[in-house]
Chain A
Amino acid sequence: MVAMTTATILMACMPATARAADYVSIPAGSLVSVLANDADTGPAPIDTFAMRDTPVTNAEFLAFVRANRKWQRGRAPAILADASYLHQWRAPTLPGESARSEQPVVSVSWFAAQAFCESEGGRLPTWLEWEYVAAADETHRDARGDPAWRARILSWYSQPSSAPLPPAGGAANAYGVRDMHGLVWEWVDVFNALLVSADSRDQGDPDKLQFCGAGAISLKDRDNYAVLMRIALLSSLSATDTTNNLGFRCVRPATEKK
């Protein structure tokens, strides 16, 4: 209770920022995931949920660390965030010139992202929730078959990552969600076992035994490079890792009224 009250007061005292994030309601549906073995059992059903329409910004994360001191740089324990956690901020409670208010926050660990989402009654999206919303272009909920759109989102990956991040709040997709592509990589709740396939329970090979169902990388839609690169990147991460292009957004139940 005390923590919540403090958070509320601090939020109220925050200077007005470019735009406050809204949670957009995402209707239920189904998704043929790029993850092959999930797709083999038919399209994955997706329940309705609400998603932040932009990635979490520096201003929003600043409010969070002011209210939750243990998540400030220098205080977050090593088991929850690596040494480069929020390194581009000038000070633990001062993002400064190189991390502007409206830019997405980056260099945050999975644990920190999860804690932020919990602080506003949410959680990190599942991979399927993320992929479902990321399949949309400005007018279609599933634009993945459109080569021109694929080429457009792919072009982002060829840009140098040293350039300053644009502010959050690009064009809205068909759900009203922004920046799913072209701004930052994003954490999801289960991120590092996505490449493991479901079948081929090979009991002979001791290496494969490390995974309960085991096996080679197995992907359904090999032409969807942009999404496959996301999976490859996420699969390489540990939950304490922080990188200059890795941010996050949160989801929460659609029915929740605030």
Chain B
Amino acid sequence: MPGYAVFGRWRLTLFAIVTVGLPAMVFAAPETGPPPNSIYQLAIPLVDQNGRATQLADWRGRPILISMFYTSCEFVCPRIIEGLKRTEDRLSASGSGKLPVLLVSFDPARDDIKTLKHAAEERNLDEAVWSLARTDARNVRKLAALLGIQYRELPSGDFNHSSMLILLDADGRIVGRTSTIGEADPRFVKTIEGVIRKRRIP
């Protein structure tokens, strides 16, 4: 087994290097990219209601709730926000704490930063939890495609879209979704609690 012999020698060399004590940082784990099934694979620029420019992948590192909406939507979008609020309330009540919420607009033409800010204030959305963000039309399509949210702009300027609350794990994998809006979906809350619990166990 010549292959084994080579490997053995290599291991010895590595052992020697370690024992002579190179700076620890050389052996620090390299920053790895997101997993293949993470939505953070795509670079999507976002600007939030305070004008802060971020990348979608900046959310990596903790689970988040994500959905899409637009501010001039009269019927369904307020129910998306209501559903998210009630979900957060349930999480607080059970001691799980709050998860960050990222809402991205379908409607970059009308939802500028000021409009998003106004919407956040009007609905009393705590800025520590809620980010209302916009990106350009091309990236709206990409994000919707990543999340499996269907939408189409109508000649009237309205958008037809499916309503979906989505749970991402810390690496941007979709680990839960619900189409229940307007109220908390108990099963979805359970899924979220499971993800939070798993992170607390080292």
Residue positions of A touching B, CB distance < 8 A? 37-38, 41, 44, 77-80, 110-111, 114, 123, 189-190, 192-194, 196-198, 201, 203, 209-214, 238-239
- Say what secondary structure dominates the interface of chain A: loop
Contact B160 A193 (CB under 8 A): yes
Contact B36 A77 (CB under 8 A): yes
Residues of B within 8 A of A110 (CB): 145
The answer to the question of B151 belonging to the interface, with a C-beta cut-off of 8 Å to chain A, is: yes
Closest CB pairs A-B (n = 10): A239-B145, A193-B152, A77-B36, A193-B150, A78-B36, A77-B41, A196-B160, A41-B155, A212-B76, A198-B154
Q: List 6 A-B contacts (CB under 8 A).
A: A79-B36, A79-B37, A79-B39, A196-B150, A210-B164, A212-B76
Instruction: Tell me, in angstroms, the Cα distance from A26 to B36 when the chains sit together.
Output: 39
Instruction: Tell me, in angstroms, the Cα distance from A123 to B142 when the chains sit together.
Output: 12
Contact B141 A190 (CB under 8 A): yes
Residues of A within 8 A of B181 (CB): 209
The residue of chain A having its C-beta at the shortest distance from the C-beta of B161 within the complex is A212
- B 52-75 contacts with A by CB, 8 A: 73, 75
The residue of chain A having its C-beta at the shortest distance from the C-beta of B35 within the complex is A77
Contact A212 B138 (CB under 8 A): no
Instruction: Tell me, in angstroms, the Cα distance from A197 to B152 when the chains sit together.
Output: 10
The answer to the question of B91 belonging to the interface, with a C-beta cut-off of 8 Å to chain A, is: no
The one of A78, A210, A213, A238 that contacts B148, using a Cβ cutoff of 8 Å: A238
Contact A211 B155 (CB under 8 A): no
Chain B: residues with Cβ within 8 Å of the partner, total of: 34
Q: Mark B15-44, 1 if CB is under 8 A from A, else 0.
A: 000000000000000000001111101100
The residue of chain A having its C-beta at the shortest distance from the C-beta of B148 within the complex is A238
Instruction: Tell me, in angstroms, the Cα distance from A198 to B145 when the chains sit together.
Output: 21
Residues of B within 8 A of A211 (CB): 76, 150, 160-163
Instruction: Tell me, in angstroms, the Cα distance from A198 to B157 when the chains sit together.
Output: 11
CB distance from A187 to the nearest CB of B (A): 11
Contact B156 A193 (CB under 8 A): no
The one of A79, A192, A209 that contacts B76, using a Cβ cutoff of 8 Å: A209
Residues of A within 8 A of B73 (CB): 212
The answer to the question of B77 belonging to the interface, with a C-beta cut-off of 8 Å to chain A, is: yes
Contact B79 A213 (CB under 8 A): no
The one of A77, A80, A198, A203 that contacts B160, using a Cβ cutoff of 8 Å: A198
The answer to the question of B146 belonging to the interface, with a C-beta cut-off of 8 Å to chain A, is: yes
The residue of chain B having its C-beta at the shortest distance from the C-beta of A75 within the complex is B36
